[in-house]
Structure 1
């Protein structure tokens, strides 16, 4: 079992937040989620966590969001990763099964651990948190 305790969930969909919380509880996965509704909020929260040396153990990232989307967040994350030697894995969790997005994710192979389609399910949660 992976030792993920602090989780950043970057997604503007409140229904997804609810489903995710229920899946985590149902599977006995005890984590402290921080919900950010767009990439900019997540980036600002991440910078604050860097300054207090309290980084998230994992980031669950959507692609399509207002203000700053997942791709823009990944670009900024790459810079922070280089500057601060971040090791936080990122899982893309999106409704996009478009081959353009799937191929674009490959550009971030050093940042993205895996790509999951919504709706996220129990098997996906187990792959992220238990395998």
Structure 2
């Protein structure tokens, strides 16, 4: 698929299922929407990564290293997607402004969808699997 919309510097995938991460990574690569894909199999490591990227951004102010788009699963061990969002809320205003979050989940719970949409930085709620059509919609926003 040729990219007809926005091209991101980097995208982050957060899902405890490595197979889902691999499939989503291949889908994003085939859509050609970004230069870099950061993959995390846990929300805790993803938050630590973002904290480190914030520090690095301060040291390299003209370098764009934070992901512009984060695909976040809800149901994960140790720290679920909502706990990630609560921790994300504690990051800098610049980070929250820069990173758009898309919930990418197998949850069909209306409560999960409603709760996810209550966070201002959650831009979309998509049910797995990630499709090229959903990616097209994201880049055309």
TM-score, normalization: structure 2? 0.83
Gap change, CA 1:60 and 1:85, over 3 Å in 2: closer
Give me the whole-angstrom Cα distance separating, in 1, the residues matched to 2:92 and 2:114: 21
Q: Distance in 2 between matches of 1:31 and 1:116?
A: 22
Aligned residues: 129
Unaligned stretches of 5+ residues in structure 1:
none
Q: Is the 8 A contact 2:117 2:123 kept in 1?
A: no
Shift of 1:85: 5.4
Structural RMSD (CA): 1.6
Aligned residue number for residue 45 of structure 2: 41
2:30 to 26, 30, 51: 26
Q: Is 1:107 aligned to 2:111, yes or no?
A: no
Runs of 4 or more above 4 Å deviation: none
- Corresponding residue for residue 129 of structure 2: 119
Unaligned 5+ segments in structure 2 are 58-64
Q: Is the 8 A contact 2:10 2:34 kept in 1?
A: no
Closer, same or farther in 2 for the Cα pair 1:79/1:120, shift >3 Å?
same
Q: Could you say what secondary structure the match of 2:37 adopts?
A: strand
Which whole-Å deviations, capped at 9, do the CAs of 1:70-91 have from their partners, x for residues lacking one?
Answer: 0000001112144x45311000
DSSP 3-state at the match of 1:86: helix
1:86-97 matches, within 5 Å, as 86-87=96-97, 88-97=99-108
Partner residue of 2:12 out of 1, 8, 11: 8
Match of 2:77 in 1: 66
Counterpart-to-counterpart distance in 1, 2:72 and 2:103: 5
Tell me how far 1:97 sits from its aligned partner.
1.2
